[in-house]
Amino acid sequence: MSSKVRVAIIGVGNCASSLIQGVEFYRNARAEDYVPGLMHVNLGGYHVNDIEFSAAFDIDKEKVGYDLGEAIWRGQNNTVKFAEVGSLGVPVHRGMTHDGLGKYLSEVIVKAPGPTADIVKILKDTGTDVVVNYLPVGSEMATKWYTEQILEAGCAMVNCMPVFIGREQYWRQRFEERGLPIIGDDIKSQVGSTIIHRVLTRLFQERGIKLEHTYQLNFGGNTDFLNMLERDRLVSKKISKTNSVLSQMQHEVAAEDVHIGPSDYVPWLKDRKWAHIRMEGKAFGEVPLSVDLKLEVHDSPNSAGIVIDAVRCCKLGLDRGLSGALEGPSSYFMKSPAFQVSDERAHELTELFIEGKVGAACISDPESPVQRRSPAVPDPARVTAADQTPVSSQA
């Protein structure tokens, strides 16, 4: 069991930049410091500075062949710089393109020449523990291809984007068979549009407001938004965001009354993202009530702390010999976990996971200590049917 968390990255874009900067920024944080966006400076025995970047893969000519510490400032990356990052001694290898570049990204990214690197060998040779997937939305074939390499190499996976792997029974089983953990899918930012919309939807539910119409319109100026101008590529993103919000509601709402999704690309916003959320409902006496809000956020750093926690949870899973979806951390860190619970419950289950009091299947397994009302758990009765929404793979 290594005392380090060796992390490989697929897709050296803005999110990878924020993650790498974040590890540098909090390298010397003290265990007792309050770090915004991290659950703990020392999570289950792993400090932020125990994270080491072991390997990286991209297909952009501007990034392949460069040191990872340099590649994060290259190409189309335009997120905020909040930390100096020196050379990491990790080259960016040529990945497999498949469907990684859609219509709009192919206009601004030139593919690196040369053959695809031997991903399995690199992951094994570098002693990689956890692979983080940051491919563009819509990279369905590429994500599945890389997942096969990760399984073969014997690594854990954190799937930050909305091609469904951790959510799907088929892939969960593949990770179980290989004795490897996975946290997925589609990273939920620290305070992003999804979590705000989820929490308000839960509030409406709990305070008896009947939600009748809602929308969430997002736009930004990074390549994630440029890529999502291609409507066909963002089907899974819409499903992921919509399910995440609707999982917090108990009554039906017609599909035409809910619109949640990325809407446009505004280049001058760079990595800033603006989200407009409107919710209309009926309160006591059928009297109308509405909420209108705007969120302005730097998109990529907003999810980096969550990934720092997720990779450390995956490493704990590896240390403990856990396999398949880590259900507690997936429900807290991801928009599309296999099982949705409330955010409060997800947080509680993740803390219990970190403490080693629950294992991988703490939501789905009726034999889990949480389900069996172990005295170690403060309020086990809160696992209710409404709190446990299995997600249909047909969505």
Instruction: Tell me how far, at minimum, the Cβ of 116 lies from ligand NAD, in Å.
Output: 9
Residue number, 227 or 248, with CB nearest to ligand NAD: 227
Q: Does 223 bind ligand NAD (CB under 6 A)?
A: yes
Full 3-state SS string of 84-104: CCCCCCCEEEECCCCCCCCCC
Instruction: Tell me how far, at minimum, the Cβ of 295 lies from ligand NAD, in Å.
Output: 12
* Partners of 158 in the β-ladder: 132, 183
Q: Does 218 bind ligand NAD (CB under 6 A)?
A: no
Residue number, 262 or 359, with CB nearest to ligand NAD: 262
3-state helix, strand, coil split of the chain in percent (to 5) is: 35, 20, 45
44-83 positions binding ligand NAD, by CB under 6 A: 57-60, 63
Residue number, 209 or 306, with CB nearest to ligand NAD: 306
Q: Measured over all CA atoms, what is the biggest interatomic distance in the chain, rounded to whole angstroms?
A: 67
Binding piece for ligand NAD, criterion CB under 6 A, among 12-20, 313-321, 344-352, 380-388: 12-20
Q: Does 11 bind ligand NAD (CB under 6 A)?
A: yes
Of 21, 9, 159, whose CA–CA distance to 79 is shortest? 21
Residue 332: CB partners within 8 Å, gap ≥ 6?
188, 343, 346, 347, 349, 350
Neighbours of 47 (CB within 10 A): 19
Binding piece for ligand NAD, criterion CB under 6 A, among 120-128, 132-140, 275-283, 319-327: 132-140
DSSP secondary structure letter of residue 63: T
CA distances to 154, 194, 318, 350, 356 from 322, in Å: 13, 29, 6, 14, 11
Q: Report the alpha-carbon distance of residue 136 to residue 29 in Å, rounded.
A: 32
CB 88 within 8 A of CB 41: no
Binding residue for ligand NAD (CB under 6 A) from 13, 22, 305, 359? 13
36 burial (CB, 10 Å; 0-12 / 13-18 / 19+) is: exposed
Instruction: Tell me how far, at minimum, the Cβ of 205 lies from ligand NAD, in Å.
Output: 24
78-117 positions binding ligand NAD, by CB under 6 A: 95-98, 100-101, 109
Q: Does 140 bind ligand NAD (CB under 6 A)?
A: no
Instruction: Tell me how far, at minimum, the Cβ of 25 lies from ligand NAD, in Å.
Output: 17
Q: Distance between the two ends of the chain, CA-based, in angstroms?
A: 39
Residue number, 168 or 224, with CB nearest to ligand NAD: 224
Q: Please count the helices (runs of H) and the strands (runs of E) in the chain.
A: 12, 15
325-384 positions binding ligand NAD, by CB under 6 A: none
**Rg over CA atoms, the chain:** 20
Q: Does 12 bind ligand NAD (CB under 6 A)?
A: yes
Binding piece for ligand NAD, criterion CB under 6 A, among 23-31, 46-54, 165-173, 296-304: 296-304
Q: Does 159 bind ligand NAD (CB under 6 A)?
A: no
Instruction: Tell me how far, at minimum, the Cβ of 192 lies from ligand NAD, in Å.
Output: 6
Residue 43 one-letter amino acid: L
Instruction: Tell me how far, at minimum, the Cβ of 274 lies from ligand NAD, in Å.
Output: 13
Instruction: Tell me how far, at minimum, the Cβ of 382 lies from ligand NAD, in Å.
Output: 27
Q: Does 303 bind ligand NAD (CB under 6 A)?
A: yes
Residue number, 10 or 361, with CB nearest to ligand NAD: 10
Q: Does 142 bind ligand NAD (CB under 6 A)?
A: yes
Q: Does 189 bind ligand NAD (CB under 6 A)?
A: yes
Of 177, 289, 159, 170, whose CA–CA distance to 236 is shortest? 159
CA distances to 8, 150, 240, 262 from 237, in Å: 23, 23, 5, 8
Q: Report the alpha-carbon distance of residue 378 to residue 261 in Å, rounded.
A: 37
Q: Does 187 bind ligand NAD (CB under 6 A)?
A: yes
Neighbours of 337 (CB within 10 A): 29
- Residues of this chain that interact with ligand NAD (CB under 6 A) are 10-16, 57-60, 63, 95-98, 100-101, 109, 134-137, 139, 142, 160-161, 186-187, 189, 222-224, 299-300, 302-303
